[in-house]
Amino acid sequence: MIENEKVEEMMFELEEKAEKTINALENDYSAIRAGRANPKILDRIEVEAYGGMSKLIELGNVSALDARCLQINLWDKSLLKAVEKAILQSNIGITPTNDGQVIRLVFPVMTEERRKELVKQIKKMGEEAKVAVRNHRREAMDILKKMKAAKELSEDMIADCESEVEKFISKVMTQLENVIAAKEKELMTV
């Protein structure tokens, strides 16, 4: 890589943005249920408790009883109704059962049609992540063009930098493809 503070800073920012994009996609994918009980589906649910909003996962233990059932064991049983209400309002597509001690979530078996629908959804999300990465590449290339116009680096050095950016973006796109393919495989596995 070229020894230039501006180029190094640009590459560092590019790597950071790409990593955030991949992590955001993986985080979004973790909230999509694939017919199996996954405690991560509850990560974003907030419950009205103690006069404020608290994350469900902070109010008790969430455990998978089997491949299709989650159990939420709250530390404060007086919150059972509030948690049940929050789950219903979250639109995760599962109706909780409350026995007065614990809340259970039974995941229904997904139909082939629903699986295909979810695959379309994850591919759309993946495409949005790819667009974000392409935008990061464009921003980096714009910085290089400005440096070229200001004659801060020689044309050969600019070409080398552009090549480095392209190589890095290609690697990131491959990572995104792998994340998308893994989630698709998970969804289509019965």
User: pLDDT tens for residues 73-119?
Assistant: 988 888 888 888 888 888 777 788 888 888 888 877 778 887 888 88
Stretch 134-162: mean pLDDT: 91
> What order do you get walking across the sheet with 96-98 strand by strand?
60-66, 69-74, 103-106, 96-98
pLDDT band, residue 18 (cuts 50/70/90) = very high
- Which backbone phi and psi does 91 adopt, to 5 degrees? 60, 40
CA distance 62 to 43: 10
Query: Which architecture does CATH list for 39-106?
Result: 2-Layer Sandwich (3.30)
Task: For the chain, give every residue range classified as CATH 1.10.132.20.
Answer: 5-31+111-188
Res 2: pLDDT: 58
Res 155: pLDDT: 87
Fold for domain 5-31+111-188? Topoisomerase I; Chain A, domain 4 (1.10.132)
CA distance 130 to 124: 10
Task: For the chain, give every residue range classified as CATH 3.30.1360.40.
Answer: 39-106
Matching residue, tokens 């509850």 = 42
Considering only residues 138 and 30, tell me which one the structure prediction assigns the higher pLDDT: 138
The percentage of the chain sitting over the pLDDT mark of 90, rounded to a whole number, equals 32
Which pLDDT tens digit goes with each residue over 150-175? 888 888 888 999 999 999 999 999 99
State both tokens at 124.
Answer: 């759309």
